[in-house]
Structure 1
Amino acid sequence: MRVLLIGASGMIGSRVATEARARGHEVTGVTRSGADGTERAEAADADAVAALAKGHDAVVLAIAPPRDGSATAPPLLAAGRAVLEALRQSGVRRLLIVGGAGSLEVAPGSRLVDHPDFPELYKQESLAQAELLELVRREAADLDWTYISPAAQIEPGPRTGAFRVGGDQFLTDAEGRSEISAEDYAVALINELETPAALQRRISVAY
């Protein structure tokens, strides 16, 4: 498949690119800088993204707000709206979104991000990602989207190919840990790209 990857230089995006290429997919990376052989474009520029997306089979949105206290929902929502419009302009229906864990439910009607012990450093980013999920649920009924939430802790690590796939509920292991390597998250994302099992819904991945 031909995949347009927005946010190709990030910690997760770079591993998605590696996994996709290892499986024989053609990846067009998009970054704000256009460095390292990527295409230069802002995710919030619908016309630019649409021009790049033409001829591709899927778009992966792998951007996140900064964690320096300036992260708010509107910039991420603007990018989300622009990408939805870009898909419609380009005729691409498949969208995979690298989401957040904060909106996962720890109990019915109770989100992880609303827990009093949720780290302040990640709160604004998590709230922004939750807004993006709601935007897609409301406004992307005409597209084949999947929003993929990682475990609470995601960082570089081994590619094992062994993990659990859930839905809206927060996944933990027997010791109460919620972890996934960025490499295995990328495996889960490309699995969903190749064999869609969660169209128009959110899934979560964790060990």
Structure 2
Amino acid sequence: MNITVIGATGMVGSKVVAEALARGHQVTAVTRSGTPVQGATALAAELSDTPTVTNLVNSADATVIAVPTDRTGGSAEPVINAHRDLIAAAPTGRLLVVGGAGSLLIDGVPLKDSPDFPAAYKSESEAFSTVLDLYRASQGLDWTLISPAPQVAPGDAAQNYTVAADSPAGDFVSSGTFAVAILDELERPAHRGQRFTVAQ
């Protein structure tokens, strides 16, 4: 497949690029600065550049968007607006969006609303809850959103992982395992028009 990864040098995006290349796919690695990525075609673009992103999505077999919000205290609105504008542009290609864990439910309550949820991740969790709602309300898009386990950290892939829908599949997932789950979904789609989550 021809796979485009937007946010290709981040914790998740870099592992997705590596996993896709290891499986023999052709990869376009998109970052703000066009950072070279060995084995991939590097391209500079902003997620907020809707016409460019729409063209990228339409020219690939699948596009992974792994762009977090600003964690330095900036507004989360740019990421929300970028997804809103992309949805409005109605790209025809397949989209897999890396979301957050804060919208996962435990006993019907979103993790982001639990008393011990880390304040540092509240803004991003609120943002990606909104992004999930936007995709769920969309019409005619070929989308999937994947949420990590409540704890996600850099690391190699585990031999196995567990899948769930709207409640955590477990407490932890490494970025390597997360990337394996993303490529598995792209190669063997099982959650089109849905959110799912993985843990190891």
**TM norm structure 2:** 0.92
Are 2:166 and 2:195, in contact at CA under 8 Å, matched by a contact in 1? yes
Are 2:168 and 2:198, in contact at CA under 8 Å, matched by a contact in 1? no
**What's the offset of the Cα at 1:41?**
0.8
1:198 aligns with 2:191: yes
Are 1:158 and 1:181, in contact at CA under 8 Å, matched by a contact in 2? yes
Report the equivalent of 1:175: none
Letter in 2 for 1:200: G
Q: In 2 relative to 1, CA 34–87 (structure 1 residues): closer, same or farther, beyond 3 Å?
A: farther
Report the equivalent of 1:142: 140
Once the two structures are superposed, the pairs formed by residues 13-162 of structure 1 within 5 Å of their partners are: 13-37=13-37, 38-72=42-76, 74-85=77-88, 88=91, 91-92=92-93, 94-108=94-108, 110-139=109-138, 141-162=139-160
Q: In 2 relative to 1, CA 184–40 (structure 1 residues): closer, same or farther, beyond 3 Å?
A: same
Q: Determine which of 158, 167, 174 is the counterpart of 1:181.
A: 174
SS of residue matched to 1:28: strand
Q: Determine which of 146, 158, 168 is the counterpart of 2:166.
A: 168
RMSD: 1.4
Unaligned segments of structure 2, at least 5 residues: none
CA distance in 1, matches of 2:60, 2:90: 10
CA distance in 2, matches of 1:34, 1:85: 26
**What's the offset of the Cα at 1:52?**
3.1
CA distance in 2, matches of 1:48, 1:81: 15
CA distance in 1, matches of 2:57, 2:192: 20
SS of residue matched to 2:59: coil
**What's the offset of the Cα at 1:75?**
1.0
CA distance in 1, matches of 2:84, 2:159: 32
CA distance in 1, matches of 2:79, 2:117: 21
Q: In 2 relative to 1, CA 161–84 (structure 1 residues): closer, same or farther, beyond 3 Å?
A: farther
SS of residue matched to 2:74: coil
CA distance in 2, matches of 1:34, 1:17: 14
**What's the offset of the Cα at 1:171?**
2.9
CA distance in 2, matches of 1:97, 1:83: 12
**What's the offset of the Cα at 1:33?**
1.1
SS of residue matched to 1:66: coil
SS of residue matched to 1:192: helix
Unaligned segments of structure 1, at least 5 residues: 173-177
Identity %: 44
Are 2:57 and 2:95, in contact at CA under 8 Å, matched by a contact in 1? no
Instruction: Return structure 1 stretches of 4+ with deviation > 4 angstroms.
Output: none
CA distance in 1, matches of 2:48, 2:135: 15
CA distance in 2, matches of 1:2, 1:111: 35
